[in-house]
Amino acid sequence: MVAAKDLELIALREIRSFPGGEYVCHVEVEPAGSDWVMTAIARDGADLDRIQYAVSLTTKGLKQRYAVRFDW
């Protein structure tokens, strides 16, 4: 298990490793029923298709590796 805030930092690092991912400045992980979703916020000039692809792949990989703990 990993805390949501820690998972956000892991996700941000992974997304920024993709071409065009350097435009992502913030990532949020939020509960969605029994699962979770990730949202990325990017600066102006970002290629949103590339960002969406990076977020999609990163989310898939992280869901396979981690269970998230939400400590509000």
Query: Would you say residue 34 has pLDDT above 90?
Result: no
pLDDT of residue 71: 83
Residues 31, 29: Cα–Cα separation, whole Å: 7
Q: State residue 72's pLDDT score.
A: 63
How buried is 47 (Cβ within 10 angstroms: 0-12 exposed, 13-18 middle, 19+ buried)?
middle
Position 17 pLDDT exceeds 90? yes
| Burial bucket for residue 29 (CB in 10 Å: 0-12, 13-18, 19+) | buried
Residue extents of the structural domains in the chain: 2-69
**Model pTM score:** 0.92
